[in-house]
Each structure stands twice: as structure tokens, then as C-alpha cells.
Chain A
């Protein structure tokens, strides 16, 4: 057992952190929110760093790295509350690498790795909430390929991306398809979300599609688990920064002639926040290190991890705002944007009650990290 990062991983962290500090300061981010919550140029810069190809094999132009490297990168992006959806790229590259045929891989993976193509998961449907097995979109054979019909919601950067991974049923069973945004019958209506980033409602009307796999639910669960691990890591970065901002504020803001950090009520609160942060970090490691485990074990781990992260994000986010007093509820202050990001991350790929349900449903007589 070893929870240390290798030199290469530390270098990767440094590179991403430097980029965030220089290329994605708060003013830059604010400008991107104002301009609609997504900046293809910024995404291009992430790709230039090699991050879009992180999960993609070298033969397809990627870096051939694994979950730990992905975690390191996502932590740093979370620290800067970067909105461009790299987690989605990890999902798309993971799913295409694992489930698509060679033609599809060769057609898409190199373009994803270079940043030329951005592919995101479009799975959310009106009645499904966080469940993955509910799907009303339908697919049927059309010519040499397939066509997909259905509505998908809150698709990350959905009106800006190049293609979608779309679950749709064939004979009542979920299959997974790739649909290009420029294809006929695809309509995307974009908007910003609570954290300032971009999403869209996407309608598919007999849109031409390529089949990724007929075992769509397995692939979708895997996709979401990659997303959960990435989200946990992103959250840890955002939590880390939230704690740092709060500690700095406690040490500078004076009331009653002393800094807030002298009040025991607030000191104990900081201790509780630190507890939640380290529980969250531990569970983020756990999620990452279980990402390649057998399905059942992997799914159980993701539920546990996302539950803990949800608890931590809500507690630290709320307490941080509270301890800042009035400043904490202003748009001008960066901390409030971390709070909104944490709230959004909690509701991404299943909220805390949903994952409590997952843990509960998968619970066995004994429990532990290795079970």
C-alpha cells in the first residue's frame, strides 16, 4: 500500500496548477461565465497540455495514463473551479476505449486526444433523476447504421461540443450510441448552470448514430463511475481551496478587536471542516483506486465515495459561507462561487441521498475498504 504520488504525477500536478494559476484566474473565469460558461480556446489549452488524451492509449495519440493521474488533474482543475468539462472527456475516452469497435476508436480517439473533438455524455432524462436504468430515448436500425430519437437534459456544454454519447433502447434494452452534433435531427438549446458553466437541452429526432455497444447499461454505469471518480477529485480540489480561503479569512477579519480565528466556536467549526475534508480526500482516493475493480466492487465503492463527498461538500460549503458573514453571500467574492460549484458537484452523477440508497442497496454483512 502506498498513497504517495510518483515524481511524474507530482510534475503533472505542478503543470496543471501552473496553468490554472496563470491561465484561469478568477477574472478570466468571470469573463468566461459572462460569455456563456464555456470557452473552446481554454479547452484547447487543456488539450495542449495533453489532458484531453490522458486516458487515451498512445497508439491513438494519447498519454495512456490511468485513474491516479486523472485524479491529480481533476483536483487541480477543481482548485481553480475550471468549468470546461474535462471529466466528460475522461468519460468519453474511457468508454470509447473500452467498448467501441476499432473503426470508431480510430475515428474518434485521436481527435479527442488532440482536443479537436469534444465528446460528452448525454444521458439525463426528465423522469430518470439519477437512475441509469430508466431511458425513454429509442434507437432503431437505419441504413447501414442507426438512428436515435429522444430528449436529453443538462448535457455539459451541449450546444458547443462535437458529439454525444447517448443511451437509447433497442428492443427494450439500453444500448449506447455516438451522435454528432452536426448530424441531421440534432437540436441543442444552451444555457448556463448554477456554477456558471454551460449545458444544453438536446433533442434527437431520428438522428443518425453510430453504435458504441449494445451492452449499453454496463457501459453507461462505467461511464458514470469514471465521472464519479473525477467529480470526487474535482470536489477535493474545490474543498481544499474553500478551506484555505476560509482559514485566511478567519485569520484576517477582525471583530471585537480580535481576529475571528480567536473564537472557539469558529475554531471548532474549522476542525470539523478539516475532518470532512480529509474524509472526502480519503474517499476520493478510494474511488480512484477502485475504478478498475470488478463491476460490483467498483459500483459499491463509487456509491460510498460519492455519499461521503456529498456530505463533505455540503458541510464545508455551507460552513464556509456562514463563517464569512455577509461577504460570503456576495457574487464578488470567489468563495461564493466555490460554494455554488460544490453544490452543483453534489448533484452531479447522483446526489447524497441517491448514493446513500446505492450504498444501502449494495450493503453486505461485512464492510471494509477491501470488500
Chain B
């Protein structure tokens, strides 16, 4: 056993650090470090910088143009990006749909879709959930009927993150009602500019617009946009889910935010209050324990083992930690977290703050982060899966 990274890994980290320092625009990291509102351009700009370097698809194998990094290298890259204040990579293209296209798509689809994902030019959205199908995804109803060389798609998706910017959406659609619900689902790529696609905003409780409803009204989709075989979409979707892993625990961002929490608590004077400090200390142990758990998963992956039973826990704990640091930041600001001045969450706002400038987004972020234990597989559903691995 050895906790340290190898000298090569350490060197790799330093290279990444230097590169990120030289290439991450300061306006963007300022926003990230202060939880200010990121525009589409901010996210796209960083994606394109990474894309140019060949690192947007940093998890991709070499044959598809990725850097072919090991699990540890990927982790170090994520960590350096997070600590430097890079925006999270919008995962739908490079992290979610790309591996599915690589694994189950044909050569034509590889050529057609992967370059736009790798470069950050094309914005993808994830169209899984429906009003009646959340945790019970297999019950989804959006229909895709084959008519000659086209599918005609009708139905509604919901909670579609950032679909207002979307160029393309990958959808689970129902192509058959025979047999078990899981067996009639297909994986379809849909151009969002197709006639019949409508995107309607859902405003979140913090006043932000990050999710949408997406309606399909007789949308014609060329049959060549089907991934793999008809009615096999559920298998591909499960493959996709198994791809997030350590990534979704986001322990690196937690480390950065813990640091910010301490800064805020110091500046607000509560860091000296043992009662508050102990809460931060508790969180600190949580973060370190999560990081150790992540490192164990990485080590197992490095040696070719796959301890899935721990990987499932990362989402549960990681999302709870995310909620907790936003909660403590809000509480650190105390009554000054209460004013809701929406414009103050935009970078460069010149108006008068209430209290310190950094408090403006704290409560809104706390409210918004209640989502983390709901999306990407709710904590309840995750716990059921974990229980199954323990109990059989």
C-alpha cells in the first residue's frame, strides 16, 4: 500500500496545472470561485479551449482522438481543473453520449458525431426523463414509429438540463410496447432544430433557468440516427450510467468549495465560533473520507478490478457533501444570506450589495443544490441499488 502518487503521476499533475493556469480565462475562474452566473458563452469557451487541446474528451481512448489517460490521470486532470476554478464540463456530449456512440454506434456515426463533441462545437442534451417517468425510467412513453427510412417521434421529455442551448439531444424513446418495458426502448439522436421540437423553460426555485421541457410533435428523425439496434436502448443507457463514477462524486470541487467555505466563515467572523467550526470540521472529515474512497476506486481500476459496490456510494455521499457545503456557506453568512438580489449574481454588477459581495449567491446556491440528491439517480434509488449489492 502506498498513498502517494507516482513521480510520473506527480509530473503529469504539474503539467496539467501549468497548462490550466495558462489557458483558463481569468474572468471565468473568477465567476466559478464566486459562484456567479455562468453564461452559455463561458461554458462553451472553456469547452472549446479544452477541445482544441484534445482534452474535452479527456476520458476517451486514443483511437477516438482522446488522450488515452489512465483513471488516475483523469482524476488528476479533474482535480487540477476544479481547484483552478474551471467550470464543470457540461457532461452530456463528451462524458455521456460519446462513449455510447463509440461503443454501440457505427463507423458512419463515429465520423459524423464525435468530432463536434470533441471540439465543443455541438451542444448536447440528455432526453431521458418524462413527466410520468423519473425514477421509473423504463415506463417512458415518448413514441418513435418507424416510417420507411425515418422515425416519427411524439411525446415529451422533461428536466432537460440546459436544453435551451441544445443543438442535439440523445433520447430514450419507445419503439415497442411488447414484452417488459425495458425491452421496447431505443436510443435515438435528434437534431433539436428539426421541425416539431419545442423547448419550454422550467424556472427553478432559485429563479434560475437550467432545466426545460422538450416537446416532440411529429418530429422526423432519419433512421440512421438510431444507435445500435432497435429496442436495445436500455442496455446502452445502462452502459452510459456506469460511465459516470468517480466523476459524479465531484470530490475535487468539494475540496475547492470547502476552502471557500472557510474563507467565508473567517470573513463573517463565525470561524472563531467553536460551534460553527465543528460543523466545518465534520464536513472536512466527510470530504477526506470521500476522497479516500475515490482513490480506492481509482486504485482498483488501475489494477483492473472493479469495486462497483463502492462506486455506487460515491454519488450518495458526494451529493450530500455538495448540499452540506452550500448549506454551511449560507449559514455562515447568517442574516446577510437572506436578501435576494438577482443581478448581484452576475459578474461585473456595479450595484450596492447587502453585506459582503460574496454572500449574494449563497442562499440561491443552497436552494438550487437540493437537486443534487434528486438528479442522476436519486439518493433513495441509489440506496436501493447499494442495498441490493450488500443483501443480494
Contact = CB atoms under 8 A, between A and B. Distances in A.
B204 A344 contact: no
Given A129-B269, A322-B379, A328 B370 contact: yes
Contacts of A124: 335
Contact of B205 (A126, A331, A347, A356): A331
Given A153-B335, A256-B136, A265-B380, A191 B354 contact: yes
A129 B370 contact: no
A351 B334 contact: yes
Interface in A304-344: 318, 321-322, 325-326, 328-332, 336-337, 339-340, 343-344
A85 to B, nearest CB: 13
Contacts of B202: 330, 332
B341 A191 contact: yes
B275 A356 contact: yes
Contacts of B270: 129
A120 to B, nearest CB: 14
Interface residues of A, number: 44
B354 A329 contact: no
| Interface range on chain B (Cβ under 8 Å from partner) | 35 or more
Contacts of B354: 153-154, 191, 201
B338 interface: yes
Most chain A Cβ neighbours within 10 Å, of B139, B279, B337: B337
B370 A329 contact: yes
B338 A154 contact: yes
Contacts of B269: 127, 129
A325 B334 contact: no
B380 A330 contact: no
Nearest to A124: B335
A3 interface: no
Interface in B149-182: 158-159
Contacts of A265: 380, 383-384
A29 B296 CA distance: 51
A332 B203 contact: yes
Contact of B374 (A256, A266, A325, A357): A325
Contacts of A153: 335-336, 354-355
B134 A255 contact: yes
A266 B336 contact: no
A126 B355 contact: yes
A356 B275 CA distance: 9
Q: Chain A interface secondary structure, helix, strand, loop or mixed?
A: mixed
Contacts of A326: 129, 134, 158-159, 211, 371, 374-375
A142 interface: no
Interface stretch (B47-55, B75-83, B306-314, B361-369): B361-369
A15 B234 CA distance: 56
A357 B275 contact: yes
B352 interface: yes
B207 A189 contact: no
Contacts of B134: 255, 325-326
A232 B216 CA distance: 48
Q: What does DSSP make chain B's interface, helix, strand, loop or mixed?
A: mixed
B136 A130 contact: no
B355 A194 contact: no
B339 interface: yes
Contacts of B132: 254
B337 A194 contact: yes
B19 to A, nearest CB: 36
B12 to A, nearest CB: 38
B21 to A, nearest CB: 35
Contacts of B119: none
A339 B371 CA distance: 13
Contacts of B133: 255
Nearest to B387: A265
Contacts of A348: 335
Given A129-B334, A153-B354, A189-B352, A353 B275 contact: yes
B339 A193 contact: yes
A330 B338 CA distance: 19
B276 A353 contact: yes
A255 B136 contact: yes
Interface in B311-351: 330-331, 334-341
B339 A199 contact: yes
Contacts of A129: 268-270, 334-335
Interface of B: 129, 132-136, 139, 158-159, 202-205, 207, 211, 268-270, 273, 275-276, 279, 330-331, 334-341, 352, 354-355, 363-364, 366-368, 370-371, 373-375, 378-380, 383-384
20 contacts: A127-B269, A154-B338, A154-B339, A192-B339, A193-B340, A194-B337, A194-B339, A254-B132, A255-B139, A257-B139, A322-B370, A322-B379, A325-B374, A326-B374, A330-B205, A337-B205, A340-B205, A351-B331, A353-B275, A353-B331
